[in-house]
Structure 1
Amino acid sequence: MSTATEQQPDQHSVPRVPTPSRWAAPPRPVWEEKPNPAGLASKGLVLGIACFAILFPLWIVIVTSVSSKQTITEAGGLVVIPKGITFVAYQELLSGGQVTRATLVSLGVALVGTLFSMTVSVLCAYGLSRSGSLGHRGMLMTLLATMFFGAGLIPTYLLVQTLGLTDTYLALILPSAISVFNILVLRGFFMNISQELVDSARIDGAGDFRILWQIVMPLSRAVIAVITLFYAVGYWSAWFNASLYLTDQDMMPLQNVMIQLVQKQQPPVGMGQAIKTGQLSALAVQMAVMVLALLPVAFLSPFVQKHFKKGMLTGAVKG
């Protein structure tokens, strides 16, 4: 039997909203939700336009480089639809003339420079990643200061000239051999390696060089591959040091020859007569040099692409 003091439920009262459990997953941001069909279509359209904007100019360069002089003349310049394909421009460029020599110079500078830069960068980054190393804090601050303050172009040129490096291949390597940014990325990756592995190796009698070679570097293949690509592309694409420190045309790398050919309209040595007589098209030669300059980067990038995300993001987590 109910008592008079028993309260009856109010039909007009506001229902209580259940309090979410503290173990419930937080709501995901909008950009992490699965897109609807319209969103997928818009993303596909944007990516398609971006790919077209990148690949279409490359297609024009390649097609023009393998086109005959008659096809280029009929097209009025750059060729879009291939017709009358010929590889005469590449045969003349790689027949042992200036472009062949410049290509070998660029390859040699890129290989030697990348090896030297990676050796110095890895050693410096490993030393800076050990907090107890000698002069650790002062060296790190000095490197960071060079990212914001530089000596300038004239002091750098005077230093290279005083050291007797002008008109030598070392002038293409040493002035830009070290990148502080790359060292910091390597250092951040090395600091993420488990300290227990290093300590156990020290207990077993391993020294710093053996720890670096057998433990740290095998665990850092991703970031080393990325930084190696950065250095290699930098050396391969460099032209400013050569234009500043070299006067001998036989020592010029491929990028400088391409600048002379495309911007200054100077044909490569030994090909001027063939271009004047109409045997070769100057535009086809220009496009062929561009393709030669792009080939190494286009060849290496797919092999290193899988390491980009892991190498860059992991190396930037801890500084």
Structure 2
Amino acid sequence: MLDSLDELRLFLGVYEAGTIRAASERLGLSAAGGSKKLLALEDRLGRRLFNRTTRKLSPTPDAEKLHQYVSKILDLVNQAEASLSQEQEISGSLRITASATFAQGYLAPMLSSYLALYPKVVIDLDPTDQVVDLVAKGFDLGIRHGVMADSSMIAQRISDSSRVICASPEYWAMRGMPQAPNDLSRLDGLIVGQEVNWTLSKGTIDQIIKVKRRFRSSQAEVIRQMALDGHGMALLADWHVRADLLSGALVKALPDWKVEPNVGVYAVYPSKENMAPPVRAFIEHFKAWAAAHPIDCGFHGHPPPIP
């Protein structure tokens, strides 16, 4: 028989993460302690719940059946606990990963606001431009910017985020302001990641332009600096270059065309089950903050004349 909610949570954690270590860390257990609890559960049920390999555990048919019930049970328990603790002060720890550029360029003041609102929450922020395995690395939450690929993670869209093609006024003066998407193919591209094909749309018209690479980096902030220094044109998130566009340090090209696909900012987390109060509060606060401080800066003006 099942003796405790901790056993159910451990079972669910192993089922979702595929490893005892990751599931145990989420529950504050050692890997050895988690393994002992799981073996004890299997002994009491008289069923093997997971097939062991050297790297990962895979659920047996019995585990698949049990999972259907455990998910429902824990969901009801979470709802009951949430209803009883709404007025209790939120406390605990929160491990977050986000891109370094977004953390510095937008996220920092929102995090400061969250800390002020929830003084008993401790936050550990890991800024990295690499996509991190949240479960394997023990993160509660990831903030991701772009087009969400299929994933086993749960994702909540926080906001839309447009992108703009921009360069320094000196670069446009030297090479000429593009008048149509095809003009981009003759210019110097400052490439974030591997995105050398830029898609632009206007009404029912779509055009894909292969950009000539002049410089490439996985870090958008480096690309922004190259654009400011006049080395070429860049495709960057509008929130990232908001101040540069307003000051004229960077000038947007082709304002009548929209860059596709439309991207978003997402809060990503391993599971809707057992969502800790600090995580839930963070997502709600992030949504409210983004509504009051739009991520999409809405800079749609035409470029000023190039001297």
Instruction: Tell me which interval the TM-score lies in, with the shorter structure as reference length.
Output: under 0.3
Mark the structure with the bigger radius of gyration.
1
Q: Which has the higher contact order (CA 8 A, sep 6+)?
A: 1
Scaled by the length of structure 2, the TM-score of the pair is 0.22
* Larger fraction in helix: 1
